[in-house]
Structure 1
Amino acid sequence: MGIIVQKFGGTSVADASKIKSAAARAVETFKKGHQVVMVVSARGKKTDELVALATEITNNPSPREMDVLLSTGEQETIALMSMAIAELGVAAESMTGTQIGIITDSAFSKARIQKISTMRMHKALDAGRIIVAAGFQGRDENYNITTLGRGGSDSTATALAAVLQADECQIYTDVEGVFTTDPRLVPSARKVDSITYEEMLELASLGAGVMHSRSIEFAKKYRIPLRVRPSFSDGEGTLIHATHEEPDSVVTGVALVRDEVRVTLLKIPDRPGVMHLIFSKMAEKKIAIDMVVQNVGEDGLAEVSFTVPQNELADTLTAADAAVKELGSGKVRHGTNLSKVSAVGRGMVMHSGVAAQMFKALADQNISISLITTSDIKISTLVDREDADKAINAVHSGFFLDQAVTKPLPIGEETEQEEETVLVARDRSEQEVISRLPSMEDIVVSEVELDCEQARVTIRNLPDNPGVAAHVFETAAEGGINVDMIVQNISRDEHASLSFTVPRDDIDSCLKLMENLLQQWPETEISHDAQIAKISVLGIGLRSHTGVGQKLFAALAEANVNIQMINTSEIRMSAVISEKDSRVAHDVLSDTFNL
């Protein structure tokens, strides 16, 4: 038997009875022959109570002292949990982040793990003790206590599972597992038995609150199977893993981010280096911008929009104003009371008409769309916040996620045992893993991909009405046209601009279909460019690591490559450029990310 890491969140350790219940689970696993590492959060609302207490003292607390204060919540829990385990007849040893050996950078309140020592943990495990580790915390090189940000206990658990090469990392929570969407918003949501790292990473970054995205990054990098399990029952929960199976549905889940705001930079120069400047200003403030939408420039001017959490609007506007000032032209505008609805699924790659299906579901509920952005396995739209609940229900039912799916026999895999071998196959040498982790949270860019087989279509002056986007992409799907990147920026004077890419061989057919469709809207203008290329950076956590976009756009600016369109996600950042710049762009990005 190997090592099992078990993480219990705040609601799972909220009081004495729940602490005893969690202790019993750990002891049960221990008695089956496993070595057990428990990672626990602060009890219930303890962190919120500590934050509220600090605000009674000062309106401007030191970030360092806030980390010292907040770390006490987990220290309380590890002591109580160790006592509960001892009462069940098994030895336990509590460890703070510092005692574990978690070393982070010095970014108080949102520190990133740099390395972990395993010597003390192995000594305790080999002595037959259950380790009870404080989640959410570590220390920097100067022995300052640091915290990893909300959800940091998940990051602690998966990081420990990675360096210890655990057989499984089990995340105990107050839900039965991962659902097709939030069952509090959509009563017909279903639990899924398994989901891939990529899908879960996108859903977590898009607002699915079951898992923290940084923890999934760790698991994906080092192929640690994650299992989200209910703390209140014996259910098996949901396995998050790597798989080679064909997806059994087009869309796996739908997510909602309720409190989004949009920032738009208007009339900025359409030249190389502009996006680098914007991303640099955001990265300086560690703002992870989302739904980055740049449509094709016009008359030497471009327009870029992106979304950020509402609580980061002030810092974002400051950074945007600084970028416009340095550019020497442009205006900054923003929109509030917005929400983002996203559909995620590996099956999107293999099916045409997915965008049309989503947009039709929204149009049928008379919901307007402002921004659209896509990746290989994700479509995101920005809607009015008052339509958020209606929108997520519409998309969920529009993809039939309320209906159970019969899982097909895995292609090329004969037995359950063979499938398990694929799921858990990974490097078992702990020292090799540690040697690859001079910085646990270094940006991981695995590939630069170049696609020179696409063409771009841009439609301007589309009516900004529900159903228009659905009509466009239904027409493409009915004509057998497979649409890849989709970008829609905010409307101007009740009109929208929409761009998308299609296979170059299909451009003539696509244009004919669009021209016929657009006759009903005489003000529209359609243009195209068959000499484009899509350059993409692939990896893990690309959006949340704010330096990726900065490095990508800096490299393209240095090579004097201009950008026409942008799409971003957690696992892919893509830009449409001129085909004549494609080889230079590929080479410079490969060098930049050491590939």
Structure 2
Amino acid sequence: MSLIVQKFGGTSVADVEKIRAAARKAIRAQRQGHRVVMVVSAMGKNTDTLLDLASQVGDNPPAREMDMLLSTGEQVSVALVAMAIHELGAKATSLTGGQIGMKTDNSYSKARIQSISTERIERLLDQGNIVVAAGFQGIDDDLNITTLGRGGSDTTAVALAAVLGADACEIYTDVDGVYTTDPRKLPEARRVEVISYDEMLELASLGAGVMHSRSIEFAKKFGVPIHVRSSFSDTEGTMIVAEAESTTQPVSGAAMTADEARVTVLGVPDVPGKSLQIFSAIAARKIAVDMVVQNVGKDGRADISFTVPRGELKSTLQALDQVIAAVGAEGVTHDDQVSKVSVVGLNMATQTNVASRMFRALSDAGVNIQMITTSEIKISTLVPKDQAANALRAVHEAFQLHHRPDDAKSWKQIKADRGATDVETLVNRLRADALEALTLTGITLTKDQARVTLHGVPDRPGIAADVFEMIGEAKIFVDMIVQGYDGEDGSTSVSLTVEKKDLKRAMEVAESIRAKHGLRDIQGADNIAKVTVSGIGLRSHTHVATLLFDRLATDQINVEMINTSELQVNAVIDAAKAVEATEGLRKTFAESLR
């Protein structure tokens, strides 16, 4: 008999009528022949109410007691849902996180799942029960109640689907699927029928509120198909699987992260080990760093810029205060009035004009770009907060995301193409002692690379578009793009990597750009290589970059450029040290390599 995990978010169980509706969906699935596990969030704004109560008691409540308090919201929901199922004539049993056997570490408010014991759930299912499990919570080795943090109920649902070998994990929410961008911000956004794990993982980390990135990490790791559906209609929704909707469309979605903060550590000595000191201090506070930009150093020093969630800025600055003297940096600046606008697409890596199209769209909308980072499937830009909504609209329109691609495939077509054998979940990959352990899929070396750096780029709209349109016209394929601050005059520097054979032509284009825009300087280098750490959970496991920097520092290898994404950490280094660096990183991450 097939098994389905159904997750209902807070808006889906916000009142008694919605609780009854959720119960009816579960009963309907059971009567269709499925065994059913429900994962339920706290009702409506219940968690916010509990947080408000805690703030009235004191400003700094103990983390353990906060988890004890917040876990009660889900316990109310599961009991009420189980009661509703009984009233409708079916059998149900409600279980807390501890009762479903969810063991976590002891990181209160951000706990990670270590193992799930499924015996009790299996027994209750065999007895004909619908199992109603509390999302968001577990217990540690000392039986303390822990919570999983933001999106914890999604994570609970996908984790249960993985360990139970479920046929699908249905996520019921207040929207009817995944859209090309947030439809509340852009009404013309289009619902997609299929989106890949990688695309959804990037979009989730960028602020797409439908799913949390940790749950997508689980799904990708264990091959769990996720079906995002509306709690209030029978719309087909969106399937999140390994494949993308289109094989030709370069961009599948756009996202805006409104509340970001930029931090720049100025004048960092350009020697091995300094990045390690900076990011170790931040990682110790479990702060997820994004858009890491370390550009090419000048006069023995480099600036390192990165973004953090606006709410984590204070803690980030406190961490830096403790290490800035030891690092030998000249100072720290920050800006909390910035937002991140990004585009994501699996087909981006094979098309050369994606960056220039995005930058031109922003230029035409009068939006200034403060930072740029890229990965194989994502381009992120940091823009002024008051320009973010216009920026999102501009890039969505530029890539015609409101139109369905001509070659778009439905889930039924993809399922038929891939064959039945590949649909099976990859439960053999489960490691009972560490479900959320970091999983790396590879450490690779890209040789024969070259770098072009433009110094003194005026900080005004349109420059980035001009740069990359001119490079595109020269038929030069660009890999990494990094833009960061360059000096007290407010100018920026832009570095990009190309194939070594294209360096001469790239420098000719750079010289034209320098003359056109009055740049201060251009530099080129052909003695570089790129090392890449790829995997699942790179950003949520905040120690990955720390370990990378630690290994490179130990081997006395300096980092020239860095960029990060949900799926990769890339570092540009001296080509002469490339093989040594790759071998060292493989040893460091040996336990995490699949």
Alignment of 1:336-375 (within 5 A): 336-375=336-375
Task: State whether residues 565 and 575 of structure 1, in contact with CA within 8 Å, keep that contact through their aligned partners in structure 2.
Answer: yes
C-alpha distance in 1, partners of 2:128/2:305? 55
Q: Does 1:284 align with 2:284?
A: yes
Per-residue deviation, 1:416: 5.3
Aligned to 1:294: 294
Aligned to 1:477: 472
Aligned to 1:463: 458
Task: State whether residues 163 and 433 of structure 1, in contact with CA within 8 Å, keep that contact through their aligned partners in structure 2.
Answer: no
What amino acid does structure 1 have at the position aligned with 2:588?
Answer: T
Q: 2:544 aligns with which of 548, 561, 574?
A: 548
> Which digits, 9 at most, give the CA deviation of each residue in 1:527-569, with x for residues without a partner?
1111100001000121121011111111111111100000000
Task: State whether residues 454 and 532 of structure 1, in contact with CA within 8 Å, keep that contact through their aligned partners in structure 2.
Answer: yes
Task: State whether residues 246 and 409 of structure 2, in contact with CA within 8 Å, keep that contact through their aligned partners in structure 1.
Answer: no
Q: Does 1:583 align with 2:579?
A: yes
Identity of aligned residues (%): 52
C-alpha distance in 2, partners of 1:324/1:109? 28
C-alpha distance in 1, partners of 2:245/2:257? 29
> Which digits, 9 at most, give the CA deviation of each residue in 1:444-488, with x for residues without a partner?
112101101221000001111100000000011111111110000
> Which digits, 9 at most, give the CA deviation of each residue in 1:482-526, with x for residues without a partner?
111000002531321110001111111111122123212334311
> Which digits, 9 at most, give the CA deviation of each residue in 1:255-308, with x for residues without a partner?
111011111100111011111111110111111111000000111101100001
What amino acid does structure 2 have at the position aligned with 1:368?
Answer: N
C-alpha distance in 1, partners of 2:345/2:359? 16
C-alpha distance in 1, partners of 2:27/2:519? 70
Task: State whether residues 360 and 470 of structure 1, in contact with CA within 8 Å, keep that contact through their aligned partners in structure 2.
Answer: yes
Q: 2:441 aligns with which of 441, 446, 458?
A: 446
What amino acid does structure 1 have at the position aligned with 2:426?
Answer: D
Pick closer, same or farther for the CA change 1:523–1:75 going to 2, 3 Å. closer
What amino acid does structure 2 have at the position aligned with 1:558?
Answer: T
Aligned to 2:418: 419
C-alpha distance in 2, partners of 1:342/1:246? 19
Q: Give the secondary structure class of the aligned counterpart of 2:444.
A: strand
Task: State whether residues 193 and 245 of structure 2, in contact with CA within 8 Å, keep that contact through their aligned partners in structure 1.
Answer: no
Task: State whether residues 194 and 409 of structure 2, in contact with CA within 8 Å, keep that contact through their aligned partners in structure 1.
Answer: no
Task: State whether residues 7 and 38 of structure 1, in contact with CA within 8 Å, keep that contact through their aligned partners in structure 2.
Answer: yes
Alignment of 1:209-228 (within 5 A): 209-228=209-228
- Alignment length (residue pairs): 589
C-alpha distance in 2, partners of 1:90/1:497? 64
Pick closer, same or farther for the CA change 1:130–1:409 going to 2, 3 Å. closer
Task: State whether residues 480 and 496 of structure 2, in contact with CA within 8 Å, keep that contact through their aligned partners in structure 1.
Answer: yes
Pick closer, same or farther for the CA change 1:458–1:164 going to 2, 3 Å. same
> Which digits, 9 at most, give the CA deviation of each residue in 1:114-159, with x for residues without a partner?
1110110100011111000000001111011111112100010011
Pick closer, same or farther for the CA change 1:427–1:549 going to 2, 3 Å. same
Task: State whether residues 415 and 423 of structure 2, in contact with CA within 8 Å, keep that contact through their aligned partners in structure 1.
Answer: no
Per-residue deviation, 1:178: 0.3
Aligned to 1:518: 514
C-alpha distance in 2, partners of 1:505/1:348? 22
Q: Give the secondary structure class of the aligned counterpart of 1:484.
A: strand
Task: State whether residues 94 and 131 of structure 1, in contact with CA within 8 Å, keep that contact through their aligned partners in structure 2.
Answer: yes
Task: State whether residues 278 and 327 of structure 2, in contact with CA within 8 Å, keep that contact through their aligned partners in structure 1.
Answer: no
Aligned to 2:407: 407
Per-residue deviation, 1:322: 2.1
Pick closer, same or farther for the CA change 1:416–1:219 going to 2, 3 Å. closer
Task: State whether residues 225 and 423 of structure 1, in contact with CA within 8 Å, keep that contact through their aligned partners in structure 2.
Answer: no
Per-residue deviation, 1:243: 2.4
5+ residue gaps, structure 2: none
What amino acid does structure 1 have at the position aligned with 2:548?
Answer: L
Task: State whether residues 243 and 422 of structure 1, in contact with CA within 8 Å, keep that contact through their aligned partners in structure 2.
Answer: no
Alignment of 1:59-458 (within 5 A): 59-243=59-243, 247-407=247-407, 417-419=416-418, 421=420, 424-427=423-426, 432-434=428-430, 436-458=431-453
Q: Give the secondary structure class of the aligned counterpart of 2:99.
A: helix
What amino acid does structure 2 have at the position aligned with 1:582?
Answer: A
What amino acid does structure 1 have at the position aligned with 2:224?
Answer: I
What amino acid does structure 2 have at the position aligned with 1:417?
Answer: A
Pick closer, same or farther for the CA change 1:92–1:550 going to 2, 3 Å. same
Per-residue deviation, 1:187: 1.2
C-alpha distance in 2, partners of 1:373/1:356? 13
What amino acid does structure 1 have at the position aligned with 2:336?
Answer: T
C-alpha distance in 1, partners of 2:64/2:415? 50
Q: Give the secondary structure class of the aligned counterpart of 1:489.
A: strand
